[in-house]
Amino acid sequence: MQRTVKKRTWTLDIGANPLADGTCFKVWAPDAKQAEVVLFDGGREETFALDRDDQGYRTTTASGVMAGARYKYRIDGQLYPDPAARALPEGIHGNAQVVDPHTFRWSDQNWNGIRLDQLVIYELHIGTFTPEGTFDAAIERLDAVKELGVTAVEVMPIASFPGARNWGYDGVGLYAPASCYGGPEGLRRFVDAAHARELGVILDAVYNHFGPEGNYLPALTGGRFFTSRRKTAWGDAINYDGDDSAPVRHFMIQNALHWAHEYHVDGLRLDATHAIGDESPVHLVQEIARELHALAPPRIVIAEDERNDRRLLLPESQGGYGLDGVWADDLHHQLRRLVAGDNEGYFRAFSGSIEDVASTLRKGWFYEGQHSVETNAPRGTPAGGLPRPGIGCTTPFRCRCIAPRPRCC
């Protein structure tokens, strides 16, 4: 599918953004009676008052504050890390750090992105991929990955999380690559090195929930970032479609764009999109895809979604979301039932028979509206007629296909 690509300039407009002679700080704290940014320099503190705008954003430009400065927000007397900090070198509870995203010297000027019809993905976890568990150590193994015939690596979530060992799915510092992996500069070196080897980089992004530890957004936003109208496995859902949802959506869409612009990633794999509750005219996932597809080169957007919903893959002109692919778990579950005999949880909804494995491979996913014993309800929609760009995958510890192309592992 041909897309109209518009070149545009982009700058992150929340968090801490260095200027020529200082840093602009901006945080959404709509209910705060008093809001300040506090700069820490050794044992010395410097405080700047934050002005309120009509949307409840608090902003100031701190003259003389440059990249490397450590800071927190003080909201009604309590100190909090910046939820949009680009770096949290002291951990998710510590001081944030001002980062200049434009000082890194990229060498990928001739990189033109990844082609969907040649995409073969290797999923890796930075913390377990090498004994060191860092971006720099992972660079040393990219040649071996390339030799497998892989064209892109999918990096499991790297947003800052509690502790030093974590799968990444309870991140809270969504703009801050985990310091234990090497922080912002480590991620940039990794992406640059991958592109030098003609490997794309897809980043696993979690927009359906925040982890429970270190999530200061409820305190900063007066609870407006979340809504009790919906519940998830992790508590109140993120407020994507209720009152005051515009700054929430902006926070997430800017996050997706910041990975593309500031880190040159080639696409996002969106975690558990079925758990993103949004009844807006344009769903958050659809809006993220629009924004990333409009870049030059266009970035790809893949959803992990258990519903087998063809709407995710249909173009917007046909009422769909226009995504490039979906992680379809059905093949993984069929094979686990066949090879390992797993029959608990969602595995019990699959037979693991050779016939059903073959059917899943042919169709791209197995459930197309049949009754599922797991949910005691019909599951899925037909995969027939969906675009088939020719996507494959390989992963060191699990096998999943991107529907609708049944060509995996």
Could you list the active site residues?
271, 304
Closest residue by Cα to residue 103 from 188, 202, 26, 196: 188
DSSP designation for 87: B
Residue 64's CB is within 10 A of a number of other CB atoms, namely 10
To the nearest 10 degrees (0 to 180), the angle between helices 246-263 and 183-196 is: 50
What residues contact residue 236 under an 8 Å CB cut-off, 6+ apart? 226, 227, 228, 230
136-to-15, 102, 171, 227 alpha-carbon distances in Å: 26, 20, 21, 39
- CA 220-226-232 angle, 5° bins: 140
Q: Are 29 and 56 in contact (CB under 8 A)?
A: yes
CA dihedral (265, 191, 151, 327) positive or negative: negative
Q: Are 94 and 85 in contact (CB under 8 A)?
A: no
Asked whether the bond before 298 is cis by omega within 30 degrees of 0, the reply is: no
